[in-house]
């Protein structure tokens, strides 16, 4: 953004921007929380399935004195293999829940940062340029663009503007040689 554009902006606009970003992040956290709850429900169902299968297995498996010549495994071996598969799927879902919880925490931390910045801007900043600079620095430090897939952040807009300003002008048709 040019200096003239920043001068035209009021600090209140940056405060509102920060609050909007915090609200969007909070909405994302809520959505991720619902997804994590669904995964936890699935984990509970799978745990119940594993328990019921384990309870259905005979308490003691009779051992044979010599190796069996049958190529077909008995029912308990099939159940154990199925239970082990369920356990592996359960562990994968637990890892997904943990990753989702870590991501939720990161989103919550960024939302809190935006909220704190909004409070700082509204109470301690009077200049639109300074407010813009603080928002851009905050977003760069927090890697905010990584949290917004469908929305351009101020730091991205500033980078695009700086890149556009630094690109050379197209060559004119008439050259002086």
DSSP string, the chain: --HHHHHHS-HHHHHHHHHHHHHHHHHHHHHHHHHHHHHHHHHHHHHHHHHHHHHHS-SSPPPPSS----SSPPHHHHHHHHHHHHHHHHHHHHHHHHHHHHHHHHHHHHHHHHHHHHHHHHHH---HHHHHHHHHHHHHHHTGGGG-SSS--HHHHHHHHHHHHHSPPPPPSSPP-
Question: Which string of DSSP letters, residue by residue, matches 59-102?
Answer: SSPPPPSS----SSPPHHHHHHHHHHHHHHHHHHHHHHHHHHHH
The pLDDT, as a whole number, for residue 13 is: 95
- Residue of higher predicted confidence among 104 and 177: 104
Q: Which residue has the tokens 């910045």?
A: 117
- Residue of higher predicted confidence among 75 and 102: 102
The pLDDT, as a whole number, for residue 76 is: 56
Give yes or no for residue 148 having a pLDDT over 80.
yes
Distance between CA atoms of residues 59 and 51, nearest Å: 14
Stretch 11-24: mean pLDDT, rounded?
96
pLDDT band at 78 (very low <50, low <70, confident <90, very high): low
Stretch 151-161: mean pLDDT, rounded?
94
The pLDDT, as a whole number, for residue 61 is: 52
Stretch 153-176: mean pLDDT, rounded?
77
Instruction: Give the predicted TM-score (pTM) of the model.
Output: 0.73
- Residue of higher predicted confidence among 61 and 88: 88
Largest CA distance in the chain: 100
């Amino acid at each position: 953004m040019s200096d003239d554009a920043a001068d035209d902006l009021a600090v209140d606009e940056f405060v509102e921007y920060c609050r909007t970003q915090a609200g969007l992040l909070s909405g994302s956290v809520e959505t991720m929380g619902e997804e994590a709850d669904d995964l936890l429900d699935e984990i509970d169902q799978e745990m119940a399935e594993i328990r019921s299968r384990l309870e259905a297995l005979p308490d003691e498996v009779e051992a044979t004195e010599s190796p069996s010549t049958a190529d077909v495994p008995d029912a308990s071996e099939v159940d154990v293999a199925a239970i082990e598969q369920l356990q592996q799927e359960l562990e994968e879902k637990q890892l997904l829940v943990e990753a989702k919880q870590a991501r939720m925490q990161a989103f919550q931390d960024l939302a809190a940062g935006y909220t704190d910045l909004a409070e700082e801007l509204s109470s301690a900043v009077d200049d639109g340029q300074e407010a813009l600079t603080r928002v851009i620095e905050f977003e760069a430090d927090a890697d905010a663009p990584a949290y917004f897939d469908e929305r351009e952040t101020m730091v991205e807009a500033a980078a695009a503007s700086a890149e556009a300003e630094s690109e050379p002008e197209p060559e004119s048709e008439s050259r002086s040689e």
